[in-house]
């Protein structure tokens, strides 16, 4: 009998590359994930011995929720 994964939180929170993060978010190009890092939605980590960035799996999976919450907060407090 196989164990079922109920939520993404059941997976370990390991570092994944930008290509895999883009795939999980539904993008075809990793540059979209780079834009999310530059905008401050994702935190990037540098691994010693490489120039490439990694992001945390749980951060990627929580991203749609965090963007939605930030959008709602902006709507509640419009600038004058």
Predicted local distance difference test score (pLDDT) of residue 30? 92
Residue 58 lies in a domain: yes
Predicted local distance difference test score (pLDDT) of residue 70? 66
Predicted local distance difference test score (pLDDT) of residue 37? 94
Residue 5 lies in a domain: no
How far, in Å, CA of 66 to CA of 70, rounded? 6
Q: 53 φ, ψ to 5°?
A: -90, 155
Owning domain of residue 45:
11-76
Residue 3 lies in a domain: no
Residue 35 lies in a domain: yes
Predicted local distance difference test score (pLDDT) of residue 13? 83
Residue 1 lies in a domain: no
State the pTM of this model.
Answer: 0.69
Place of tokens 């994930």: 33
Is 35 within 8 Å of 18 (Cβ atoms)?
Answer: no
What is the number of structural domains in the chain?
1
DSSP state of 1: -
């Amino acid at each position: 009998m196989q164990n079922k994964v109920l939520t993404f939180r059941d997976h370990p929170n390991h570092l994944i590359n930008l290509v895999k993060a883009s795939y999980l978010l539904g993008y075809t190009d990793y540059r979209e994930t780079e834009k999310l890092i530059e905008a401050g939605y994702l935190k990037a980590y540098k691994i010693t011995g490489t120039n490439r960035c990694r992001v945390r799996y749980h951060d990627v999976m929580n991203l749609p929720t965090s963007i939605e919450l930030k959008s709602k907060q902006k709507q509640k407090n419009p600038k004058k």
